[in-house]
Chains A and B, each alone.
Chain A
């Protein structure tokens, strides 16, 4: 198990290197420069002299290869560069924003897990029941509703009409400020989890070994506890892993909507003004987050299913 763990963790490194390379290439070929967008306020043309000065300052006139070497050597020392806009180290900017994002993503996932998995489980235990029908209709609606719209509705209802919760903002990290964005963000993974849990449990319930378990004279509760739960967990963990990774991406919309100071809104703002070092750094961090989640999922798999360590 230790070797397996170590191997999976080490596998992150080459992936990060390849991704860093890709990010660099992509942002070297996109049109438009920071300098140009900075001065293009729509009223007057940017001053060519100013642009030239900025290009000089950030070393954008150096050959691509040279810039790449600088980028990689900096990266190896965990230096993600300096923001064009604020002149702060990118790593500091990300550090300021990342924890808010993580908090939001984790809260959303906890909400989705706490509600989605039990609902899916109960629905599978009594297929065709009222609970099952209601859950599945709810799940489809949850998947179909655009998050920004749902967020607006929630804001309108709970903040403006009922006045129970603050409508937006980080509120110095208070729990009340977290509820609306986390619930809104959690609806999609919740719906998916309810559906996959139901499908997974139904699948397990039809397995031959469940019939064996019944033939041993087990009560239904024991069958579920001893034989269904663990087997259904595999599918649940997969879904959680996939959703957790993409939550950060989906959070961009929610963070904008609720003025949440997360990494998603940092990314959007930076793309708009072509602040390439920040964009590169943010994407790299998001990719790293994906990889960490994936690795964690693989390790959890191995802990659940003895057949996986075999390979």
Chain B
């Protein structure tokens, strides 16, 4: 049996030298006259161990990491092709606690398979959901998704099945499925990992959405900052067309569905669904007023499903295993699992998929292992640049949509960015306003002008210029932005600002005093 070596092709692995490791392995193999097959898999999501080199042995798949090219000869000397011991050896991959503790439904195959092998995809239960969907009536598919309790994973948490139902019932000559893969939030990379690590699951999810709603064309709108995701996705779509998964007859059925990848151009606001639709139409990525809902008048004025990557990628398992299977995970109104992304100053950063309900503290301290710097955690931002900063005092908050809302926060796209005690929260609040000013589409005044005024006001606070009055002004400004902005960019920028102010007031006292206190 030819040994199989796995070295991820995920961007997180490439950024820390995975390609150099592959070249070193190839060199060593030929120098030693050995044979092995190298598979470029997705990432297992244990990013602190990347590049994670795995070998399929008689005793299962074993892991070594983080491996640099310099470690490679040593791996061979240690007999890693037979799972030999080595200082960077972690034993069987699936037994590593970070992985073992997870419930992987959406990410079941990511890191396990060759992302572009349809054979792997089928072997690991791919296409079963689509096959089931083809045998069902559209309304039945929609009902299954509704019953599963799946809510929009992009951040808004709107029930996916209800959105689909609106599109299904809308009369039109043409309908669209649009996948929002414009994952611009700092601290998030789950969409990227799906596109790079299991692109067929997204294709399958979109095809099911198409069959369920009567849409025949799909678009994945993603970011120019994700070149590897774009390339992998495009290649997978080609394969899916060739193999009859996409095209005039999906898996030989009477349903037609095809799709393509479109690339944005560096505008964060295009992650907002109406701005994304304008961008797809070739316009400025300016937010549209709602109503009309995109489900009724979306892309080119046609009924359109706009769903996040993770929502669509969760659909195949729901159609495969049934609504009840998925719904049984989770708590309250947050059903199923959430791929949580642990990022920033964290020891064990990466992707952790688990049922809703785990506490923030468990995620940061137990699963994430605390800070990478070894210093105390001071704040964590949950839900991207528009998400609130949480102090450790709120670490008992369970990870679910409603519990976070009750703490004036949001789970958003489930990115968690950890900061140690060197963080300056006034600076973070200022950055939130600055980011909003840079990325505002300019359509509504509270966002366009409010963000600029927010930066100025925070600068005055930092300068000690009548700070109490400025803080009142800042709160007032945040109220206006929250209530008066057209979309979440202006509407949610107050979350990081106000949470910083509420939980870390000492950082907003005049600078010299703050320094004296340290």
A is bound by B: no
Give chain B's interface residues, CB within 8 Å of chain A: none
